[in-house]
Structure 1
């Protein structure tokens, strides 16, 4: 109650419902609305002194003691207890006072009192309960008190603080990133990428690590976003801020944590599988982080658009299963029937996976020439993508690492930047749909 008193002292109005309060609590209040059984008002006014003495709740005590049938307040007794006993709402110990005042109609007495007349007079003043003719109509020039930049600054700061104070959410994805990078990196230690089996295994590991990182981010985003949806509905109903700035805050707060988790994974996984190029490593980190961010935004979208986390989980399983099936690894992109190619092109996962695989295994600026006479490649460059692929089945024949990746999985190094652009397009699509869901969808139960 001391905290409530401090809030009131700051100029805010605080309304509390109290039952049988102690004197220390009762003395903290400035005014009192007292109701008898049935909801009739028997007192409403200030609790301060009506006289020059230092008696606590002097106004209340003077009012009740002015009624002839009400006994005086005993010395040292709690005024709240005495007051309740007088109107017949006290405990059994106050039965004597209740008997004395049983015939008193406290509600009628208050209606005839000076306090009631003062209240009616105050309400009758122009501008209180009746329009003030000398004052113009009250109009607000803006829908919200805070400026757009203030809303943006406060909401972005709020989300950053909230993420910082939720270590379980962020530490989970950091641990997942470190675990996946370590386990799958060790699988490909000393991997033979110029063999048919080794290259397929490497592409499979990249596929699995990418999807596992994304699914972990997606699953983690569902309950976290759902937890914040309820207060957002309350704040939106009171027009506290524009939904656009809430959306911006939710968008920006994820970025540093997603990119840091992607960095933890890449700095472990990338060197373990035998690659050392700094530029390629940075591009790998950025693309992986964008994919994880896209999965996180997909989780937010489903929570905003669907009525519950359970429904979002079911829909998410269907959506992610479709994306996994048509991401271009299994079945390989080159084997997808023509009737389903449109699903392949609409799958965001395939663009991220294509960038990651082609960065590592599709780089060959000048492709070597196959010499039919010697049954071997000549002018083979130093890049991994230029190396001949060994142990290929007869149905494939001779090819290079780059040629196999392009022919079987349709993952081309020349399309890296266009695939990067497609990733950004899908990110934008998910965020625009999320903004529309935040703005127009409301699953709040009335």
Structure 2
């Protein structure tokens, strides 16, 4: 297979089952990652490859391995263009031709290097006043030393003018003119679409990639599920069998408290743990997006979709444990509503964390930004201070709070239609309407609102990942 040929070419066959891991933390070494990056580009079978300082940050041995890989690529008939600074003799000898520029971006040499730099040395030594290279000296180092601006000033010459007046320059211009003239009957290169694959194919590929990434990162979901289980057991034991005890205001507020604590604690946990995951994935996304592998929208859709099954499993886990331990009324409709609001609240927090991650330069800034939002959502959720008691100029904060809508939906789905009379002579449904402003008839709107928040955060994430770039290059 072609993939196996590429792996053999870049000498990665022995690592074919290895996890890439995190840079300087786990997985492949820096040198192996560079070879993997080359392999990823070779899979598309390009005729030309551009590399920006492929040996930077590597020791001599690792640099030699990478250069051997690049040389193997060239030997297959492909053209490889590299930028490189002050290479060693062995690395410099791996190249066939050199395009040398001085400060200011003006070309001073473009031609063959020759074995051990013979052609390059011959050209510069032919310039009057240039010192001869010493035996065993690195041609790359010598070339940089003799072509400095200080040397130009000392010798009273201009390397750019010398090159432009050389036979080498005239030969290059002639070759450029020849190669830039299209053969008779040929047409301009045209691509009907920006990407090589359809939108659906791109999305499926991104979804498969995200699935593998999540599957190979068990600690991320393990944290969520362990925390959810512990919170469910704690909530269930604290509020044991209080779901059907609605004889007093305190009992009803206790049930409301069990919902509120679950929404805030699990939601914040989801939002916080997803921040570093998306931040790490974003680095890979930047590279693959700029390589034209897929569009930002297909990646965003894959990221949004891959969270759904994991979050749904989390919601089911919590709902089954808590609903049975607290003892809410066992009807299919009420239980489904409980799962519905729990699921979409967790999804809302998760999407919010994803959105903040791509809108901030790193996970630390994102964490601080998200924490500030949690505080506002906590205050205006309708539990610490109910909506009827909010000043008029703060009403908008309640309606713009996803936790408020989630708590609204949970309360009215469980108690909004209960006619039981409490010890104060008021029915349960009348009390929550007067105390919190909750109406059972408003349940569908609460459901639409919490789904709407998920859509807004997911859409904002897609928009941000498309236009924002925090890479420092």
- TM-score normalised according to structure 2 size: 0.66
Pick which of 327-336 and 245-254 moved more: 327-336
Contact 1:259 1:286 in 2 (8 A): no
Give distance in 2, aligned partners of 1:200 and 1:162: 42
Contact 2:241 2:327 in 1 (8 A): yes
Matches within 5 A, 1:205-354: 205-275=258-328, 276-354=330-408
Counterpart position of 1:139: 190
2:435 to 385, 399, 408: 408
1:164 to 215, 218, 222: 215
1:193 to 231, 243, 246: 246
Matches within 5 A, 1:20-99: 29=72
Contact 1:303 1:309 in 2 (8 A): yes
2:466 to 425, 439, 443: 439
Contact 2:89 2:138 in 1 (8 A): no
1:4 to 6, 10, 15: 10
1:417 to 425, 441, 444: 444
Give distance in 2, aligned partners of 1:443 and 1:228: 13
Contact 1:214 1:292 in 2 (8 A): yes
Q: CA deviation at 1:127?
A: 7.1
Contact 1:36 1:87 in 2 (8 A): no
Q: CA deviation at 1:9?
A: 11
Counterpart position of 1:69: none
Contact 1:262 1:285 in 2 (8 A): yes
Give distance in 2, aligned partners of 1:161 and 1:350: 35
Counterpart position of 2:102: none
Give distance in 2, aligned partners of 1:333 and 1:36: 69
Cα deviation 1:172-219 (Å, max 9, x = unaligned): 111111111111011121323221221111111211111111111111
Give distance in 1, aligned partners of 2:315 and 2:87: 65
Q: Which runs of 5+ in 2 are unaligned?
A: 1-6, 14-38, 97-114, 117-134, 140-167
Secondary structure of the corresponding residue to residue 386 of structure 1:
coil
Secondary structure of the corresponding residue to residue 327 of structure 2:
coil
Q: CA deviation at 1:311?
A: 2.0
Cα deviation 1:270-317 (Å, max 9, x = unaligned): 011113223311221121110000001111111111222222222212
Counterpart position of 2:226: 175
Give distance in 1, aligned partners of 2:404 and 2:211: 31
Q: CA deviation at 1:140?
A: 2.1
Contact 2:263 2:403 in 1 (8 A): no
| Aligned-pair Cα RMSD in Å | 3.9
Give distance in 1, aligned partners of 2:190 and 2:271: 45
Give distance in 1, aligned partners of 2:411 and 2:327: 14
Q: CA deviation at 1:388?
A: 1.3
Counterpart position of 1:387: 420
Give distance in 1, aligned partners of 2:414 and 2:321: 16
- TM-score normalised according to structure 1 size: 0.70
Cα deviation 1:332-376 (Å, max 9, x = unaligned): 22211122111111112111111111122222xxxxxxxxxxxxx
Give distance in 2, aligned partners of 1:403 and 1:270: 23
> Post-superposition, which runs of at least 4 consecutive aligned residues in structure 1 deviate over 4 A?
5-22, 28-33, 35-45, 86-90, 125-128
Q: Which runs of 5+ in 1 are unaligned?
A: 46-62, 65-85, 91-116, 364-384, 393-397
Q: CA deviation at 1:226?
A: 0.7
Cα deviation 1:140-197 (Å, max 9, x = unaligned): 2221112212101101111112111111111111111111111101112132322122
Contact 1:184 1:269 in 2 (8 A): yes
Highest CA radius of gyration, 1 or 2? 1
Give distance in 2, aligned partners of 1:39 and 1:325: 65
